[in-house]
Amino acid sequence: MSNLQPGSSESPVDGDPRPATDQQHDTEPQVTPVLTPKQAKRANSTVVGMLIAIAATFGLVLPVLLLNPTHTADTYARDIDVQSVSAEAADIAGYAPLAPELPEGWTSNFARWNAGGSDGVPFWEVGYLTPGRQFIQLTQTDAANSTWTAQRLDEAQVSGQRTIENLDWELLDSSSGDSFLTTETDDFTLILNGTADLAEFDVLGAAIVEDLNSP
């Protein structure tokens, strides 16, 4: 005879106090989902498609990265013969564009004559790399106007004056961090701008004055 008392919640199975339905759940086997061949093929196709898409994207991006390296001084390390380019541009310019002699360690990464755009201001420009691996650009024109000059100075603000070899320059600072020096001679408007320190600007400025005074 059972010892269960009326109202008792004890299970009659082996003294286990849980309901019989819970005991049955414990004994049910775990079912592992199995994909049909069609489902497995579809899943594999999705993965392969994702891999192909990633590879295609990488193939498009990699050439761009290789063609557009980080813009450092070494990226532009070339050695242009400024004197030769100046001589070639002289007939077009109507004057001998500046090609100053600079100390050892200075190089040029470009020298070109710009015929001017809608503003009608043609100009000569040369890019220099200093021995400290900083950059200074020289711009020269005999046809400057206030609009062109303002655009070339890139909204830089006047911060002082600087005299280099008896030639007075206006010193400006820009929000980009570049320094600017600009001056007017009897014939030309000259602009120097770049990341170099002012001592290196002085070296280039002195070479420019010497070139201006040469026969």
Q: Which residue has the higher pLDDT, 39 or 136?
A: 136
- pLDDT cut 70: percent of the chain above it: 67
Q: For position 69, what pLDDT does the model report?
A: 45
* 83-124 per-position pLDDT tens digit: 999 999 999 999 999 999 999 999 999 999 999 888 899 999
Q: For position 60, what pLDDT does the model report?
A: 63
Q: CA–CA separation, 59 vs 160, rounded Å?
A: 51
145's tokens: 């106007």
pLDDT at 159 > cutoff 70:
yes
CA–centroid distance for 184 within its chain: 33
Q: For position 75, what pLDDT does the model report?
A: 47
Q: For position 28, what pLDDT does the model report?
A: 58
* 31-70 per-position pLDDT tens digit: 566 657 666 666 666 767 777 778 767 666 555 445 544 4
Q: CA–CA separation, 154 vs 172, rounded Å?
A: 10
| DSSP states along 104-135 | TT-EEEEEEEE---TT---EEEEEEE-TTS-E
Q: Which residues contact 165 (CB under 8 A, 6 or more apart)?
A: 205, 206, 209, 210
Q: CA–CA separation, 22 vs 24, rounded Å?
A: 5
Planar angle of CA 23, 25, 30, nearest 5 degrees: 140
Q: For position 40, what pLDDT does the model report?
A: 61
CA–centroid distance for 208 within its chain: 30
Q: Confidence class of residue 156 from pLDDT cuts 50, 70 and 90?
A: very high
Q: Confidence class of residue 186 from pLDDT cuts 50, 70 and 90?
A: very high
pLDDT at 160 > cutoff 50:
yes
- State the average pLDDT over residues 187-203: 97
Q: For position 78, what pLDDT does the model report?
A: 67
Q: What is the pTM of this model?
A: 0.66
Which candidate, 129, 148, 147, places its Cα nearest to that of 138?
129
Q: Which residue has the higher pLDDT, 31 or 207?
A: 207
- State the average pLDDT over residues 132-142: 97
3-state secondary structure (DSSP) of residue 192:
strand
Q: For position 70, what pLDDT does the model report?
A: 45
